[in-house]
Each structure stands twice: as C-alpha cells, then as structure tokens.
Chain A
Amino acid sequence: MSDKKRVSRRQFLNYTLTGVGGFMAAGMLAPMVRFAIDPVLQTKEGGEMHSVASVDEITNEPTRVEWTIDQVDAWYESEVQKTAWVYRNENDEIVALSPICTHLGCTVDWASNEEYPNQFYCPCHGGRYTKDGVNVKGTPPTAPLPVYEHKVEEGMLYLGEAQSRKGA
C-alpha cells in the first residue's frame, strides 16, 4: 500500500468535521430559507372566482343570484351560500352588489318596499340604497353595499370577493 492512498488522521478529522459542520449549517439554513420564501409559495384562499350566471340572463333589473363556496375556518370547513344582486347599469356594464346591509348585516331586497320602488331596502331598520348600492342619507347604513369583483368568460359571469366601499 502506498502512502498516497492512505488517509491521514488529520485528513480524516478534517473531512468528518467539514461534513458534520455542513449538515448542521444546512439544518439551520433550510428552515430559514423556507420561511423567507413562504409568502411566495402560499396560495391565495379568497382569490377564487365562481361562475354564477349566464351573461344573457342579466338585465337592467337587479336579480338575485346564489352560489355556494367552501369556506375554511380555523376548525372546520363548511359550505356557505353567497348571494349577489346582479344587473347592467346605463353604460351596459355588469354590476354585482353584496346584499349584506352595512348597518348590522341583514339581507337587503331590491324594490321590496312599495314607497321606494327603485332602491334596495333593508327590512330590519329601513336602511335604503340607490340602485348603484350607495346608501341613502338619513337611513341607518353608513356605507354603500360592497361590490363583488367580477369577470366574464365564455358567456358566464364569475364573481370573486366582495369589496367594501367608503361611506357617502
């Protein structure tokens, strides 16, 4: 056996120490790297859009559309029914309003009160909103109805999250 192929005690210790040290460093760094890039890897829960109605069905008159989503709470997953008032405005754009009254969360109805045939009406405390969802001054709500994000694909209307708006 030649001396060249022999691993000296010093070399052996060097190799093992470097190896073990490398593992330890990797063990510490890997989770840190994972934490650092975590926000990038996370999938966005709320960003989903749901197909709710066919576009040809939408008229100038607000109609109620319903769909269900899977909502994941901390402890359990549940099916939640969502509702929107959908219509076309004067510029032929589709508008989808959340029916949840900004006062205390009742469900508002379109033209359900005979005195206000062109407004959204909340049965709980008489809150009113004009057709574009803006709250009528002097009634309990202090903010307009939230608007759903929407997109149209292959003749179907897709709705996403409801965005709240600033008060009038």
Chain B
Amino acid sequence: MRWTEKDIKQYLPEKEYIDTLLIPMIPFDPASDQMMGKQAFQREINQIFTSLIEKEYKGRIFLAPEYYYISGAAETEVSRLNSWISQFRKQPFTHVFLLTFDAKWKKHEDELTGKLVWVPAIQSGNIQSTETQSFVKEQAGQISELIQAYW
C-alpha cells in the first residue's frame, strides 16, 4: 500500500492484514555541490527499492511517505523520527522498518523505535544500466526476505 487516496481506501477496511510499515529515509543537503549528485542518485535508488518491495507485498507492507532530513544531522533527527513512528503505531502496525543507505543511523539504532535496515548503497552509476537494475532487484529480494523473517 502507498500513501495515495486509492490505496488508503483499500487499506482502511483491511487494516489488520497490513501489519508492516516501511519508511524510506532519504538524506539531502542542497548546500553541498559535491553531495547533491550522490544524494539525488541514492534517492532515486531508494525509491526504486521501496517500490519494488511494495509491489511484491502490496497486501502486507505499507509504504510510508519518505522521511527526508538534512544529511549529517542524524543525532537531532532521532526524536523526530520516533515521533513519526509513534503516530504510525496508532494504526495496527506490528513491524516498522526503516530503510536507509545512510550508515550514520547505525550508531543510533538502539534509540530508534523501528527496525533499522541499513543497505550499503551503490555510490553512483547509471540507473538505467542492466547491471544496476539486476543488482537492485537482487538486493530488494534480500530485503524482502529479511522482512519476511519477522512475519
């Protein structure tokens, strides 16, 4: 399920079946020329990842709106992120996964109220190339397996 009107309409009556929440976490810093390219690329990859996972498990995984934050500020983001999660938990979600390429979150993992899934990112490359595509598909499959292990 996605954060769209059509999916929410389907979600509301069937709530109890959709017990898994996936929040993509996307850092950005428009002040830094050198980071922008990489971060934009990682955002695209992140969206491809999450939409692949969502498509395959539409009936059980809810894809939350992306959590955007200024990169490098992971410490100060913990409480904001936790407040997102606590709002979502007012719905019957029993598993909350946070998908990120940003390794800085790993240090704060214990403070988070959701399960952090950190994936080593492809730094840059051609998003259309077949290598990138098969790599992303492969990884998305493994993330789904990880999520399924909790069900």
Cβ of A103 within 8 Å of any chain B Cβ, yes or no, is yes
The answer, yes or no, to whether B29 is at the interface (CB within 8 Å) is: no
Name the segment of A3-11, A35-43, A104-112, A145-153 touching the other chain: A104-112
Number of contact residues on B: which range applies? 10 to 19
How many A residues face the partner with a CB closer than 8 A?
Answer: 11
A72 at the interface (CB under 8 A from B): no
Q: How far, in whole Å, are A103 and B17 apart by their CA atoms in the complex?
A: 10
Closest-by-CB residue of A relative to B61 is: A124
Contacts known (A104-B10, A104-B14, A104-B17); A125 close to B56, Cβ less than 8 A: no
Q: Quick check: is B57 within 8 A (CB to CB) of the other chain? A: yes
B106 at the interface (CB under 8 A from A): no
The CA of A123 and the CA of B58, in the complex, are separated in Å by: 11
Residues of B participating in the A interface, judged by any CB pair closer than 8 Å? 10, 14, 17-18, 55-60, 148
Interface of A with B (CB < 8 Å)?
101, 103-107, 122-125, 140
Contacts A104-B17, A140-B17 aside, 14 further interface pairs with beta carbons under 8 A come to A104-B14, A104-B18, A104-B59, A104-B60, A105-B58, A106-B57, A106-B58, A106-B59, A122-B59, A123-B57, A123-B148, A124-B17, A124-B57, A125-B59
